[in-house]
């Protein structure tokens, strides 16, 4: 893999100094940029950038820079920005659940669908009957879809297995996706997504099985970067969440918690008490959750696509920012409550429904979302030494245009780890 020189960049956007891993409070409204710019990538990483006045001299007819072969890309006045970072997805699943889409249209809630054996359990049934090869094929198609929409860093969860064999099957598929694609992928074990059918009425025993059987098996194959628990009304309690987090810590797995989607669950407090990297969903929030997050390393992560598709409240992102906290946005791409991984749409919803400024939404979908999956040292901004995972846009008038005109095609080229895809 050689060098790439992108020239004639109308605006290079999302420049962050080395060592800045997240943005909080007022910083979320700040986006640094450079107009009339160039950027040089060497292999997978950003080597340097600057104004066109100081562009490195290239023998364009031969593509030679300082004696090295270089591919030249003319941005033709378009923006260059870091690729989107999506810190919460469930793209490894089998089939689809459009039947439940009809149920929701007819008035059934998420909880009602789950209570009658649908939702996550439906996906678990489908996944159980699907081979690893077929599951990989379906998941690869979704991963390629989000890449072409501009996502460069992606967290993927298990959680549709609900028994040891099928959870491992999902995590092995995630490992295969890591090897097959230029996406930077983080893997999360979510065995506590729901109670498997064979454990109906025995939730405590299921939690013990997650701790004593699933976690050791996951660790033995080094299949996960994080652990997650669905701590919410009708699912797992804060006490069970702590039990799993403590068991996972023995294997070096840090927590990422599903919390406060369906009710004020105590999941935020449980996650913070164990230094979770993120607490996700947060559709139902009181001032107590905001207060407990102050001064912690835990990133509040909101999923407006789930609110949009499932008619749930939108997270109080503005209140978090006013309190001096950071906020990340992610897709929650899954077959039931958010069947889309389009991070530009997530950014637009952040502006339209959560009243974030375009700058706040941009930071939430790039640097802060990278932080929420432990990737902001290597991705999420235009910084020398970080991954050259970039979006080259068609010429657009401003950053605000991207969420404003969110259905107008805006991507000219996606570059992931120094490769144009």
Q: What is the DSSP string of 24-72?
A: -GGGGG--EEEEEEEEEEETTEEEEEEEGGGPPP-BTTTTEETTEEEEE
Rounded-to-integer distance, Cα 256 and Cα 292, Å: 16
Q: What pLDDT score was predicted for residue 59? A: 66
Q: Does residue 62 surpass a pLDDT of 60?
A: no
Confidence of residue 224 (pLDDT cuts 50, 70, 90): very high
Q: Does residue 329 surpass a pLDDT of 90?
A: yes
| Residue whose entry in the numeric block shows the structure tokens 């799993």 | 244
Q: Does residue 171 surpass a pLDDT of 60?
A: yes
Confidence of residue 159 (pLDDT cuts 50, 70, 90): very high
Residue 116 burial (10 A CB sphere; 0-12, 13-18, 19+):
exposed
| Residue boundaries of the structural domains of the chain | 3-82+381-420, 84-371
pLDDT per residue as tens digits for the range 70-81:
999 999 999 999
Q: What pLDDT score was predicted for residue 411? A: 98
pLDDT per residue as tens digits for the range 98-151:
888 888 888 888 778 777 767 899 999 999 999 999 999 999 999 999 999 999
Q: What pLDDT score was predicted for residue 97? A: 85
* Helix/strand/coil for 390: strand
**Which CATH architecture does the domain made up of 3-82+381-420 adopt?**
Roll (2.30)
Confidence of residue 66 (pLDDT cuts 50, 70, 90): low
Homologous superfamily, domain 84-371: Metal-dependent hydrolases (3.20.20.140)
Average pLDDT over residues 238-261: 98
Q: Does residue 67 surpass a pLDDT of 70?
A: no
| pTM for the structure as a whole | 0.96
pLDDT per residue as tens digits for the range 349-405:
999 999 999 999 999 999 999 999 999 999 999 999 999 999 999 999 999 999 999
The C-alpha R_g of the chain, in whole angstroms, comes to: 21
What does the DSSP 8-state code read for residue 15?
E
User: What does 144-209 look like in DSSP terms, one character per residue?
Assistant: HHHHHTTEEEEEEE--S--SHHHHHHHHHHHHHHHHHSSSEEEEEEEEETS--GGGTT-HHHHHHH
Beta bridge pairs of residue 154: 86, 185
Confidence of residue 18 (pLDDT cuts 50, 70, 90): very high
Q: Does residue 333 surpass a pLDDT of 60?
A: yes
Q: What pLDDT score was predicted for residue 98? A: 85
Average pLDDT over residues 279-292: 97
Rounded-to-integer distance, Cα 241 and Cα 367, Å: 27
Confidence of residue 259 (pLDDT cuts 50, 70, 90): very high
Q: Does residue 52 surpass a pLDDT of 60?
A: yes
Question: Token pair for residue 387?
Answer: 């991954």
Q: Does residue 61 surpass a pLDDT of 60?
A: no
Between the two ends of the chain, the Cα-to-Cα distance in Å is 14
Q: What pLDDT score was predicted for residue 1? A: 72
Average pLDDT over residues 400-418: 97
| Residue whose entry in the numeric block shows the structure tokens 């990989």 | 136
Helices vs strands, H then E, count in the chain: 16, 17
* Helix/strand/coil for 255: strand
Helix axes 164-180, 132-148, angle to 10 degrees: 40
């Amino acid at each position: 893999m050689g060098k790439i020189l992108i020239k004639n960049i109308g605006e290079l956007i999302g420049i962050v100094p080395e060592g800045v891993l997240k943005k909080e409070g007022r910083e979320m409204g700040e986006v640094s940029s450079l107009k009339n710019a160039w950027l040089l990538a060497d292999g997978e990483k950003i080597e340097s950038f600057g104004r066109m006045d100081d562009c490195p001299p290239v023998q364009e007819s031969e593509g030679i820079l300082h004696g090295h072969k270089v591919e030249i890309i003319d941005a033709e006045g378009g923006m260059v920005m870091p690729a989107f970072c999506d810190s919460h997805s469930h793209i490894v699943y089998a089939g689809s659940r459009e039947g439940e889409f009809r149920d929701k249209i007819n008035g059934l809630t998420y909880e009602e669908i789950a209570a009658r054996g649908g939702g996550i359990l439906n996906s678990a049934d489908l996944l159980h009957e699907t081979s690893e090869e077929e599951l990989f094929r379906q998941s690869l198609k979704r991963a390629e879809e989000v890449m072409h929409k501009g996502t460069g860093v992606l967290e993927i969860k298990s959680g549709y297995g609900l028994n040891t064999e099928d959870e491992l099957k999902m995590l092995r598929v995630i490992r295969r996706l890591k090897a097959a694609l230029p996406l930077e992928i983080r893997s999360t074990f979510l065995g506590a997504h729901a109670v498997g059918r064979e454990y109906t009425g025995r939730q405590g025993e299921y939690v013990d099985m997650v701790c004593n059987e699933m976690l050791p098996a996951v660790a033995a194959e080094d299949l996960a970067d994080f652990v997650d628990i669905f701590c919410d009304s009708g699912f797992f309690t804060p006490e069970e969440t702590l039990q799993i987090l403590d068991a996972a810590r023995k294997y070096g797995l840090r927590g990422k918690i599903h919390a406060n989607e369906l009710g004020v669950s105590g999941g935020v407090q449980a996650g913070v008490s164990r230094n979770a990297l993120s607490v996700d969903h947060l559709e139902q929030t009181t001032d107590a959750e905001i207060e407990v997050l102050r001064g912690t390393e835990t990133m509040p992560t909101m999923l407006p696509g789930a609110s949009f598709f499932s008619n749930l409240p939108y997270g109080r992102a503005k209140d978090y920012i006013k309190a001096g906290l950071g906020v990340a946005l992610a897709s929650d791409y899954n077959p039931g409550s958010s069947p889309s991984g389009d991070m530009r749409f997530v950014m637009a919803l952040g502006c339209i429904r959560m009243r974030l400024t375009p700058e706040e939404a941009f930071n939430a979908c790039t640097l802060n979302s990278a932080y929420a999956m432990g990737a902001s040292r290597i991705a999420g901004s235009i910084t020398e030494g970080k991954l050259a995972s970039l979006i080259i846009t068609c010429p657009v008038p401003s950053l605000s245009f991207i969420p404003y005109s969110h259905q107008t095609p805006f991507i000219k080229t996606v570059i992931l780890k120094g490769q144009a895809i």
